[in-house]
Structure formats: structure tokens, C-alpha cells
Amino acid sequence: MPDVTLVQAINLALGRAMAEDPNVILLGEDIGADGGVFRATDALLARFGAERVLDTPLAEGAIAGVSIGLAAQGFRPVAEIQFMGFAYTCLDQMLNHAARLRTRTQGRLSCPMVLRTPCGGGIHAPEHHSESGEACFTNVPGLRVVIPSSPARAYGLLLAAIRDPDPVLFLEPARLYRTPRETVEDDGAALPLDRCFTLREGADITLVGWGGVVTEMMAAAEALAGEGKQAEVIDVATLTPLDAETILASVAKTGRCVVCHEAPMTGGFGAEIAARLAGPGLLSLLAPVERVAGYDTILPLPRLEDAHRPSVARIVAAAKRALSHG
């Protein structure tokens, strides 16, 4: 198959899931005839019909609520929220209903739904369109939070999310939608949820992150290699439940860690990873855990957006600080 972009991989996964399971339906704003704001659902209306590709009113909380009802009745809805800044109105439905449905009904019902939304900066969009609010949802027990960082991982993880019996928030880095490209076989093979992906082996320092910032992490690892330091790069991919074991094993080998994310530093999910390392990983650490994140400000759009996001230079500088200890 020709190389595809991340948004094309999303489209392939949605088409594959719908072809395999008639209970998979799509709903969201402008996803039908228009194919979605980023064209993630392009041509799926023509292929599967208006009963399975549903345009909705501009009401994100209602989209989430209807999806929960559909999931409780045996469907597998995949709902699209146009931008993550609009997903906060879904938090009530996801926290109080989707994530609790299995326990509330003592296992009689489950909630196999996926809430998809683009996230992160880099596209210089207006306010609310470049949010990285994953931490608001990682504190919800019973809800998976998944963020791919490549076309192949987007394809495999989305299929796994759709097939999962419980709710998944599936965040798609908008900056990566159309670059880079990667060969993706449309074979229906899912990738495992709840697992980190080690993208590069190294013995000197561990770089941990997810979503769009993985691109900068890989570039930082290349820069460090040019100075004789080998960085291990870990794509967390599923934030909750967190695969802490992979991160702890890496830091046991390297002794140093830099955690990277686009969300603001304070209360960001990187703090959870740092806390895990400060517990069972404490004796492995040869230096304090470094965090490279967005600043604790409202995203300064559009001109300072690139300065707000973690850069290769900031990641390299943090790695050098960690490497300077011991």
C-alpha cells in the first residue's frame, strides 16, 4: 500500500472497522457530506450510508451522551469532536456515565464507544483549536486515553479502541495529520492498548512523551547521538492505564529521564510519570527527572504558539542537565 498520512490512516481504520462490524457507526459535526473538518471521514458516507455516518447538531455534550446510549444498546459508536477545546463539555458525560456504566450496572452493560478529537498545537488555528487537555481526562477511572504519534500506530490503536468493550478517548495530534507519511497495511491488525512503544534504544537517558512531541523527541535523540549520548525514546501512546513497567525498566537501564508533553507543566500528565519514577523507580535515578512542557499560560496564538510547545532545543537542554549529574 502507498505511504499514507496519519489522517488517512484514521480513515482506513474507520472504514475497516465499519466493514467488519455493522454495529460500528460514526457521528459528529460535518462528518458526512463534508468528511469532517480534517477529512478523517472522507468518502465513508458514500460507502456506508447515512444510517451509519450521522451528521449531528453543534452540541458536543449531546454527541457524547447519544454515543453512550448507543453503546449501551449494542452499537459501537465512534464520535468525532472537531477540536479538543470543544471536548470539555463532554467531560460530564464521559466521567459520570461512560466510564461508570460497567460498574453502575454491575457488569450488565458496558460502553464500547470511542470519542475522537484532534489535539495539540502546530497548525496555528484560533483559540480552542490547539488545546492539549489530556490531563483532564486521565483522572477519570474507567476511561482509556490514547494518543498515537504515527500513521501506523494511529491505524492499529484506533482499531483496538473501537473493539474495546469500554470507553476510549482517542486524541489525534493535528500537527501530524498530514506529515509524516508511513506505509500502513490495511489488514485489520490492531496494536495493543495499555502499552508503551520503545521507538529507539539507548543506554544514557530516557525520553518519554506522547502525541505530537514524539517528533521533537526523536530529533533530540539524533542531536544527542551526535554528541555521543544514546537516548532511549518511549512513546507512551496509552496514557491511562499507564504502562509504567516499560518506563521503569528503561530508567533502570539509563538512570535518567526527560518527560515531554505539549500541555502546561502544572498538573500535566508528565507529573504522574515523574511521581511513578520517584516511587518504585527512585533508586534507579542518577539525576532528578526533567520535564519539558508547555508553559503555564493560555496558549499564545497564533504568533507564539511554536515557542509555547516543547522544542528540540528545550528537550536537548533538559537531557544535558540530567546527564550532567554523576
Q: Which three cell numbers stand for residue 82?
A: 472537531
Instruction: Report CA dihedral (292, 294, 297, 298) to the nearest 10 degrees.
Output: -170
List phi, psi (to 5°) of 297. -140, 160
Strands 182-183 and 3-4, by their bridges, are: antiparallel
Between the alpha carbon of residue 108 and those of residues 21, 66, 71, 72, 166, the distances in Å are 21, 19, 12, 10, 13
Of the residues 129, 261, 308, 325, only one is catalytic, namely: 129
Q: How far apart are CA 136 and CA 86, in angstroms?
A: 13
Interacting residues of 200 by C-beta distance below 8 A, sequence separation 6+: 218, 221, 231, 232, 233
Contact 238, 144 (CB under 8 A): yes
Q: How far apart are CA 36 and CA 40, in angstroms?
A: 6
> Smallest Cα–Cα separation from 13: which of 168, 135, 136, 122?
168
List phi, psi (to 5°) of 108. -70, -30
Contact 87, 128 (CB under 8 A): no
Q: Answer yes or no: 129 catalytic.
A: yes
Please give the angle made by the CA atoms of 267, 268 and 272, to the nearest 5 degrees: 90
Q: What is the DSSP string of 270-299?
A: HHHHHHHHHTTTGGG-SSPPEEEEE-SS--
Residues annotated as catalytic are 129
